[in-house]
Amino acid sequence: MERTACRRCLRPANLCICSAIRPIPTRTHVWILQHPGERRHPFGTAIIVQLALTNSRFDVVWDTEQEKFGDAAFPPGTALLFPGPTASDLSTMPTEKRPHTLVVLDGTWWGAKKLFNKNPALQRLPRVTLPLGVSPGHKLRREPAAGYLSTIEAVYASLKFLEPYTPNLDVLMAAYDRLCDGHLAERKSRHSSRYVDRSSHRTRRPPLDAETARRTVVLYGEVAPDKTGRKERALTSLAMMRLCDGALFHAFLQCPPDTLNEWHKGRMGLTDALLATAQSPEQVRTALRKWLGPDAYVTAWSQSTLDAAAPLLPAPPTTSLKTYYCNWRHRHAGDLSVVVEEEKLTVPTLEIPGRAAERLGMAVAVTTLLATPTDGGRPPEALVEFSNAEMKAPPQS
C-alpha cells in the first residue's frame, strides 16, 4: 500500500511531526553535513534540526562533490563537533572562544568517521566535543559517553552549552520525542498485525527458552583497532555476566604497544592504570574457563565479538543475540543501543570499568527481552531478579 508522506518533515502523513516544530533563532550557525548513507534513514533526525533552526544549513556530502566542502567553504570561527585528543570541551569553553559556525556530521558513527577521513578540510577545522556523561538539562535518550548520540541530541546538547539562554531550545527535544514515539507506536502496530495474521502457524515461544536462559552468559568485548589488515581482530578487554546469579567476569588482555591511542582509550573509557592490569590470553583463558564451568551458553550481541572471543572460550561460539533478535522480530537491527531504545529496555548498572559497563548492560537487557514470553507470560524467574537490579563485581581474588 502506497503511503503519502508529509512534504515538509518527510515522515509518513499519519506520523507528521510538523506541529511540534517551531522556529528557533540561534546565534550559532549550525551546518549539518550528511553522509549519503543516512539519506533514507527512516529515523533520521537531521531534518528536524534543519526545519527548527532558522540559522542552519544542510548538505549531503556526495563522494563526487567533496570539493564543495574545501577550506574556503568554512568561514572563520567554524568548529567541527567531533571527538579527538585536540577537541575542546564545549561545557568549559570561554565565551570568546565559542564557534560562530558549528559543523555537525550526520550519519552512523562509522559513516561520520568516513566523512571525516575523506575530507581533509574537515580534518583541519578546530574540533569541539561534548563532555563525557554530562547531561545538558534535558534527559537525553542516551548518554554522550556511549558515543551514539543522534544528530539532534548532539546539536541540542551543544547549543545548551554554547548559548544556554536562547529561548525554545527544548523544542528540538520535544519534536524528537514526537518522532521517537510515532516510530515506536507504528512499529508496535505493524508487529502486532503480523503476529495476528500468522498466529495459527507461528509459535509464540521466546527465542531463548528458560533452560537456555539460565545457562546463558552474556559477553561484551572491546576489539583492538585493526592496523595490519588482518581479518581476525584481537580482543583487548572482556566483560561477561552470568544470567542465573548476576556474577561478573572482567579482564583486560595484553595487546602490542601503541595499539590503543588516546582517542581509543577515551572512547572505551579506559585509563593506562586499568590497561596496566592486562593479562596474557593464556591467563585469561584459564581464569575464564574456571569461572564459566562446563555447560555455559555464551552469547554476545554481534557475531564478530563471539568470533574474536572464540579462542578464549571452552566451547565453539553460539548464536549471536543480534541473529536471535532479527529472526524473532523479522527485521534488520542496527546498533545495540538503538534496539535498547526502541524496545524501551531498562539497562542494569554493572560495576565494571569503562563503557563495557553500559554495553554489557544493554546486551543483558536484550537477552532478558529475548527470554521473555511474548504472550504476556513472565520471563524466567532468574531473569526477573536482576533485570532491574544493580550488579556488583565479585571481590577480586
Least separation in angstroms between residue 15's CB and Zn ion is 8
- For 44, other C-beta atoms within 10 Å of its C-beta total 18
Nearer to Zn ion among residue 20 and residue 300 (C-beta): 20
Q: Give the interface with Zn ion as residue ranges (CB under 5 A).
A: 6, 8-9, 16, 18
Alpha carbons 341 and 365: distance in angstroms, whole number: 11
Cα three-residue angle 220-213-294, rounded to 5 degrees:
75
By beta carbon distance, the residue nearest Zn ion is 6
Hey, what amino acid is at 5? A
Nearer to Zn ion among residue 16 and residue 87 (C-beta): 16
Nearer to Zn ion among residue 18 and residue 247 (C-beta): 18
Least separation in angstroms between residue 232's CB and Zn ion is 47
For the chain, the C-alpha Rg in angstroms (whole number) is 23
Least separation in angstroms between residue 44's CB and Zn ion is 14
Nearer to Zn ion among residue 178 and residue 214 (C-beta): 178
Nearer to Zn ion among residue 15 and residue 169 (C-beta): 15
Nearer to Zn ion among residue 3 and residue 230 (C-beta): 3
Least separation in angstroms between residue 21's CB and Zn ion is 8
Least separation in angstroms between residue 8's CB and Zn ion is 4
The answer to whether 260 touches 279, Cβ cutoff 8 Å, is no
Least separation in angstroms between residue 51's CB and Zn ion is 8
